[in-house]
Chain A
Amino acid sequence: DAGVIQSPRHEVTEMGQEVTLRCKPISGHDYLFWYRQTMMRGLELLIYFNNNVPIDDSGMPEDRFSAKMPNASFSTLKIQPSEPRDSAVYFCASTQRSGSFGSEQFFGPGTRLTVL
């Protein structure tokens, strides 16, 4: 298996522009997570899905952020409009079965977002 795939790997955009990050989880995994990592705050969970349904989006910072999972093999995280404080590395992760007790999360390589 190719692992979790994210695109693009790097994104540089200007404030106010729309940004879309993409993720393909590992086949057969029923949980998908979106994280954001910064030096100041570390790795923070934004939202996660179970069987394509959003379960907890309490980590989404503002209404400017939205996430979708139209099918089991694809998810997007959208920021509109983007702001310089959104600059961070965004990771997607997936896991199988209940995604709960002791299950390992597999992380993608991340998307480094820079908003100028």
Chain B
Amino acid sequence: EDQVTQSPEALRLQEGESSSLNCSYTVSGLRGLFWYRQDPGKGPEFLFTLYSAGEEKEKERLKATLTKKESFLHITAPKPEDSATYLCAVQTYGGSQGNLIFGKGTKLSVKP
């Protein structure tokens, strides 16, 4: 069964304290790995798509990387406005076209 596991469940950082979120996956065949950000009371908002091991993508203070078993979302010098829940999702060759399998997310809190 395809699975996505995110860790930690929650992470508290001080402003400027860099860290990483982990997304490990077990899938039959990976088509793409997605990162989304979700603010309280809102729907998830797309951040990145990664397709193959070794790929990296950056956006402001965020950098996503991908290996054959996991993805990391690195947050450099975070600010309070980076506080949100970060969701990882995978799309597989075995699944229905368009189907995303989500992890439960990591809730990030950045204190000033």
Interface residues of B in 89-112 (CB under 8 A from A): 89, 91, 96-105
Q: B32 touching A107 by the CB < 8 A rule?
A: no
B99 contact set on A, CB distance < 8 A: 45, 48, 56
Q: A45 touching B43 by the CB < 8 A rule?
A: no
Assembled-state Cα–Cα distance A48/B97 (Å): 10
A76 interfacial by beta-carbon distance below 8 Å: no
Q: How many residues of B contact A (CB 8 A)?
A: 24
B59 interfacial by beta-carbon distance below 8 Å: no
Assembled-state Cα–Cα distance A56/B97 (Å): 9
8 Å CB contact of A45 from B45, B49, B100, B105: B100
Given known contacts A42-B104, A101-B91, is B46 in contact with A106 (CB within 8 Å)? yes
Q: Count of A-B contacts with CB under 8 A?
A: 63
A98 contact set on B, CB distance < 8 A: 97-98
A108 interfacial by beta-carbon distance below 8 Å: yes
Q: B98 touching A99 by the CB < 8 A rule?
A: yes
B32 contact set on A, CB distance < 8 A: 101-102
Smallest Cβ-Cβ distance to B98: which chain A residue:
A99
A33 interfacial by beta-carbon distance below 8 Å: yes
Q: A50 touching B46 by the CB < 8 A rule?
A: no
